């Protein structure tokens, strides 16, 4: 049976690809390509109506015309090494994604179906916690339940922050500078789960004035960095954001 | 039940079971293959054979014939256009159906590439299938039949081919360029003129083939093919038509101007001057000049700092533009396009580094081992008969 190879190249669009040799019909194409009475030639390059330097670059001819016709490849004309364009596949694409300006991630059906399987709105809402910072006095450490884990929010004094910053990083098991662990130095937000085996450390205790895990004796400092004991890493710092001077959203 | 299930298990993956089993040959462990040199022979009848062993799994063979559109005269304009569209038609040894299916069956490719000077018939296939495709190549080039009903069937394609090619403004520019620059021969368009649609006859095609597809005008070039095989093929099959055939008229350059008005938003222009014939010592100099003026490299969103033309034009306009130097070397005559500021450069205001860079670029392209370019590169060397000078870059 005759097969028509529809290969919409940006160069030689459906009209000529109907004539390009498919397997069975070198002489008799299935669709007799006739030039219409008022010749409106097929648009070669529908992708680029925008006139700008980038599109024009490389378009001028650098070598004489070379015409190439082949048995099973659509015909082409070369005048430069940059004249070979990516074919236009618009015929195969969904109409929703054809608009160049809109992001295709916003409107496709597939994205809609897949995103319905992700977390629902109430679950997403429960994943964040809003904390009012004016409730926490200086030097005090408050614990909140967040995503099933304890969240420590500590309002540190100026003295404490300066003391911490002065420490040599090479002496730490998990070297991390104090300022790398906070966004505002006076607010220390940590997840209160010990990095050893997961107990909840006690605040304002231990040899370094920070946290002390009673299970196996890990001592953390005020910034939550491990100083003594079996834990290998510093206490985890979650992602958070200060929406105003008074409010922080964790998660 | 049992019968059904067995039948079902038999039919599943059926095509996989009956497909011929291909044993992948292990790559020979040992020394890396040495790069080979070009092997070159010229037969007494004038046919030139060249081959290069590049160890690629795909072999490419090209038959380059001096039968481009410059050899048409005013009576038979458009013959070469129809000729290169008629490559798949019936020949004495194989029908069109056989050619199409035979090539598809081995996964090969037969293509015709036409320029103003030359017509090149190229076949590509896996190494083991070379003999099959060479047979088709020889059939198409030496003994086409051009049956009138087949030729009639492809006549409509002339019009469509031309219409689609001319949608690109570069085609307009280059065709007009040649028409303005030359009086004859090279002024002929690659495409059939409008008044000749439907009037190109099989007799004209035959006449053209008889007089231009002769041994002395051919070059048989192979990549990944052994030289003795090519030589044997050429001696046995490609000596049917001897002699030099009809020599085309000498191309006369006279210069001129053509303005084609249309409603496009862009202006395309070419400013041309005559330069040297391909193969002469000056041709290399013009090639260097082309690269000095600016042909690339094309860097997307780059600022084209290496291109003199670009730098100059950027200073004079803020609108989008593109400019490059164009060089077309033809045996006998050459045209080279340059922009307004080329005068400055022609008067020698160029640093040595510029010239050296351009020389290197020109040489790089000449020596490039990139597959697509290889076969043309060899051809250019042969047709210009100036092999040594081109490779060593003496200018």
Helix locations, B218-267, DSSP H = 227-237
- CA B115 – CA B126 distance, rounded (Å): 27
Cβ–Cβ < 8 Å for B121, B140: yes
CA distance B198 to chain A (A): 14
Model confidence at A35: pLDDT above 60:
no
Model confidence at A179: pLDDT above 60:
yes
Task: Identify the top-confidence range among B107-121, B160-174, B272-286.
Answer: B107-121
Reduced to 3 DSSP states, what percent helix, strand and coil does chain B have, rounded to the nearest 5? 45, 15, 40
For residue B197, the model assigns a pLDDT of 92
| Residue in A19, A27, A51 closest to B150 by CB | A27
Work out the burial of residue B376: count CB atoms within 10 Å of its CB; fewer than 13 is exposed, 13-18 middle, 19 or more buried: middle
Cβ–Cβ < 8 Å for A187, A156: yes
- CA A233 – CA A174 distance, rounded (Å): 6
A183 to chain B, any CB pair closer than 8 A? The answer is: no
* pLDDT (average), residues B170-191: 87
Residue A220 Cα to chain centre, angstroms: 34
Rg of chain B's alpha carbons, rounded to an integer?
25
For residue B385, the model assigns a pLDDT of 38
* pLDDT (average), residues B333-347: 43
pLDDT band at residue B24 using 50, 70 and 90 as cut-offs: low
* pLDDT (average), residues B76-104: 93
B321 to chain A, any CB pair closer than 8 A? The answer is: yes
Cβ–Cβ < 8 Å for B393, B359: yes
Do you know the residue count of chain B? Answer: 395
- CA B395 – CA B248 distance, rounded (Å): 29
The residues near B195 (Cβ < 8 Å, ≥ 6 apart) are: none
- CA B255 – CA B271 distance, rounded (Å): 10
Which neighbouring-strand residues pair with B274?
B335
| Residue in A39, A44, A68 closest to B113 by CB | A68
Say if pTM beats, i.e. exceeds, 0.90: no
Q: Which of A146-155, A216-225, B259-268 has the lowest mean pLDDT?
A: B259-268
Cβ–Cβ < 8 Å for A128, A121: no
- CA B90 – CA B92 distance, rounded (Å): 7
pLDDT band at residue B394 using 50, 70 and 90 as cut-offs: very low
Cβ–Cβ < 8 Å for B230, B133: no
Model confidence at A32: pLDDT above 80:
no
Identify the residue among B151, B170, B198 best suited for mutation to test binding to A, counting A beta carbons within 10 A and taking the highest.
B170
B82 to chain A, any CB pair closer than 8 A? The answer is: no
B298 to chain A, any CB pair closer than 8 A? The answer is: yes
Could you tell me the strand order of the sheet in which B333-337 lies? Answer: B272-275, B333-337, B326-330
- At residue A187's C-alpha, the angle toward residues A183 and A188, to 5°, is 85
pLDDT band at residue A106 using 50, 70 and 90 as cut-offs: low
- CA B223 – CA A14 distance, rounded (Å): 34
- CA A239 – CA B306 distance, rounded (Å): 48
Percent of chain A beyond pLDDT 70? Answer: 71
- CA B117 – CA B113 distance, rounded (Å): 11
A83 to chain B, any CB pair closer than 8 A? The answer is: yes
Model confidence at B175: pLDDT above 70:
yes
CA distances for B194 relative to A141, B73, B85, B161, B171, angstroms: 89, 16, 16, 12, 16
Model confidence at A2: pLDDT above 50:
no
Q: Do A69 and B111 touch (CB under 8 A)?
A: yes
Percent of chain B beyond pLDDT 90? Answer: 35
Write out residues 7-46 of B within 8 Å (CB-CB) of A.
none
Q: Has A216 been annotated as catalytic?
A: yes
For residue B296, the model assigns a pLDDT of 66
pLDDT band at residue B42 using 50, 70 and 90 as cut-offs: very high
Closest CA to B255 of B337, B176, B182: B182
Q: Which of A154-163, A233-242, B46-55 has the lowest mean pLDDT?
A: A154-163
Neighbours of B79 (CB within 10 A): 25
- CA B74 – CA B53 distance, rounded (Å): 42
- CA B111 – CA A66 distance, rounded (Å): 12
Average pLDDT, chain B: 78
- CA A70 – CA B182 distance, rounded (Å): 30
Reduced to 3 DSSP states, what percent helix, strand and coil does chain A have, rounded to the nearest 5? 20, 20, 60
CA distances for B385 relative to B71, B279, B329, angstroms: 20, 7, 14
Model confidence at A110: pLDDT above 80:
no
pLDDT band at residue B329 using 50, 70 and 90 as cut-offs: low
Q: Which of A179-188, B145-154, B215-224 has the lowest mean pLDDT?
A: A179-188
For residue A215, the model assigns a pLDDT of 92
Q: Do B167 and A44 touch (CB under 8 A)?
A: yes
For residue A214, the model assigns a pLDDT of 92
The single residue listed with the structure tokens 């072999």 is B59
Q: Is residue A132 within a helix (H) or strand (E), and if so which, with residue range?
A: strand A129-132
CA distances for B283 relative to A55, B254, B354, B384, B389, angstroms: 32, 19, 18, 10, 11
Task: Identify the top-confidence range among A80-89, A145-154, B311-320.
Answer: A145-154
Work out the burial of residue B37: count CB atoms within 10 Å of its CB; fewer than 13 is exposed, 13-18 middle, 19 or more buried: exposed
Average pLDDT, chain A: 75
For residue B204, the model assigns a pLDDT of 95
Task: Identify the top-confidence range among B178-187, B217-226, B351-360.
Answer: B217-226
Q: Which of A104-118, A234-248, B8-22, B318-332 has the lowest mean pLDDT?
A: B318-332
A5 to chain B, any CB pair closer than 8 A? The answer is: no
Q: Over the stretch B206-261, which tens digit does the pLDDT of each residue have?
A: 999 999 999 999 999 999 999 999 999 999 998 888 878 888 788 888 878 888 88
Q: Over the stretch B191-202, which tens digit does the pLDDT of each residue have?
A: 999 999 999 999
Q: Which of A13-27, A96-110, B68-82 has the lowest mean pLDDT?
A: A13-27
CA distance B2 to chain A (A): 36
- CA B197 – CA B77 distance, rounded (Å): 10
For residue A116, the model assigns a pLDDT of 84
A51 to chain B, any CB pair closer than 8 A? The answer is: yes
pLDDT band at residue A209 using 50, 70 and 90 as cut-offs: confident
Contacts of B326 in chain A (CB under 8 A): 60-64
CA distance A88 to chain B (A): 15
For residue B56, the model assigns a pLDDT of 87
pLDDT band at residue B283 using 50, 70 and 90 as cut-offs: confident
Model confidence at B357: pLDDT above 50:
yes
* pLDDT (average), residues A131-142: 87
- CA B192 – CA B195 distance, rounded (Å): 8
For residue B245, the model assigns a pLDDT of 81
- CA A15 – CA A36 distance, rounded (Å): 11
Half-sphere exposure of B46 toward its Cβ, with a 13 Å CA cutoff?
16
Model confidence at B34: pLDDT above 60:
yes
Cβ–Cβ < 8 Å for B59, B130: yes
Q: Over the stretch A40-87, which tens digit does the pLDDT of each residue have?
A: 455 555 555 556 677 677 677 777 888 888 887 777 777 776 666 666
For residue B350, the model assigns a pLDDT of 52
Report the SS3 class of residue B185: helix
Peptide bond into B297 cis (omega under 30): yes
Work out the burial of residue B282: count CB atoms within 10 Å of its CB; fewer than 13 is exposed, 13-18 middle, 19 or more buried: middle
CA distance B290 to chain A (A): 9
Closest CA to B354 of B299, B309, B298, B315: B309
Helix axes B371-384, B352-367, angle to 10 degrees: 100
pLDDT band at residue A23 using 50, 70 and 90 as cut-offs: very low
């Amino acid at each position: 049976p005759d097969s028509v190879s529809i290969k919409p190249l940006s160069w030689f669009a459906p009209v000529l690809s109907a004539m390009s040799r498919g397997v069975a019909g070198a002489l008799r194409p299935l669709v007799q390509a006739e030039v219409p009475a008022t010749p409106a030639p097929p648009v070669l390059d529908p992708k680029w109506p925008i006139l700008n330097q980038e599109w024009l670059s490389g378009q001028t001819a650098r070598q004489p015309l070379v015409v190439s016709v082949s048995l099973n490849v659509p015909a082409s004309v070369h005048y430069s090494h940059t004249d070979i364009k990516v074919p236009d596949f618009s015929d195969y694409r969904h109409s929703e994604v054809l608009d160049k300006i809109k992001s295709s991630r916003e409107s496709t059906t597939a994205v809609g179906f897949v995103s319905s399987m992700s977390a629902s709105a109430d679950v997403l809402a429960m994943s964040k916690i809003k904390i009012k910072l004016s409730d926490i006095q200086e030097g005090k450490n408050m614990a909140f339940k967040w995503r099933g884990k304890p969240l420590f929010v500590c309002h540190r004094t100026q003295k404490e922050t300066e003391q911490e910053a002065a420490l040599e990083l090479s002496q730490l098991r998990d070297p991390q500078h104090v300022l790398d662990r906070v966004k505002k130095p006076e607010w220390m937000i940590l997840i209160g789960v010990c990095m050893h085996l997961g107990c909840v450390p006690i605040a304002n205790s231990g040899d370094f004035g920070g946290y002390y895990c009673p299970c196996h004796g890990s001592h953390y400092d005020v910034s939550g960095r491990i100083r003594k004991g079996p834990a290998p890493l510093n206490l985890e710092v979650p992602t958070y954001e200060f929406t105003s001077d008074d409010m922080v959203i964790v998660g | 039940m049992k019968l059904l299930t067995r039948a079902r298990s038999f039919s599943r993956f059926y095509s996989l079971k009956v497909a011929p089993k291909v044993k992948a040959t292990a790559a020979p462990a040992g020394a890396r293959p040495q790069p080979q040199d070009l092997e070159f022979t010229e037969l007494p009848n004038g046919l030139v054979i060249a081959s290069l062993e590049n160890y690629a799994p795909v072999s490419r063979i090209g038959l380059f014939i001096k039968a481009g559109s410059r050899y048409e005269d005013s009576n038979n304009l458009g013959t070469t256009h129809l000729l290169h569209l008629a490559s798949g038609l019936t020949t004495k040894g194989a029908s069109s159906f056989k050619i199409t299916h035979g090539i598809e069956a081995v996964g090969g490719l037969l293509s015709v590439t036409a320029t103003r000077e030359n017509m090149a018939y190229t076949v590509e296939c896996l190494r083991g299938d070379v003999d099959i495709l060479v047979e088709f190549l020889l059939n198409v080039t030496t003994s086409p039949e051009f049956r009138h009903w087949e030729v009639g069937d492809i006549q409509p394609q002339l019009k469509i081919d031309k219409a689609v090619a001319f949608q690109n403004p570069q085609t307009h520019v280059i065709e007009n360029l040649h028409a303005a620059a030359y009086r004859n021969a090279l002024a002929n368009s690659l495409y059939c003129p409008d008044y000749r649609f439907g009037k190109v006859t099989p007799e004209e095609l035959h006449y053209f083939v008889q007089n231009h597809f002769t041994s002395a005008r051919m070059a048989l070039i192979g990549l990944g093919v052994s030289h003795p095989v090519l030589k044997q093929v050429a001696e046995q099959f490609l000596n049917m038509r001897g002699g030099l055939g009809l020599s085309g008229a000498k191309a006369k350059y006279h210069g001129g101007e053509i303005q084609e008005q249309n409603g496009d938003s862009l202006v395309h222009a070419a400013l041309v001057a005559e330069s040297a014939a391909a193969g002469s010592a000056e041709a290399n100099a013009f090639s260097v000049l082309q690269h000095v003026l600016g042909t690339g490299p094309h860097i997307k969103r780059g600022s084209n700092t290496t291109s003199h033309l670009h730098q100059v034009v950027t200073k004079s306009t803020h609108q989008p533009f593109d400019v490059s130097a164009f060089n077309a070397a033809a045996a006998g005559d050459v045209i080279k396009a340059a922009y307004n500021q080329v005068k400055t450069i022609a008067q020698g205001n160029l640093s040595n580094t510029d010239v050296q860079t351009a020389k290197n670029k020109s040489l790089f392209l000449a020596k490039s081992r990139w597959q697509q370019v290889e076969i043309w590169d060899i051809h250019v060397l042969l047709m210009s008969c100036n092999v040594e000078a081109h490779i060593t870059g003496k200018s």
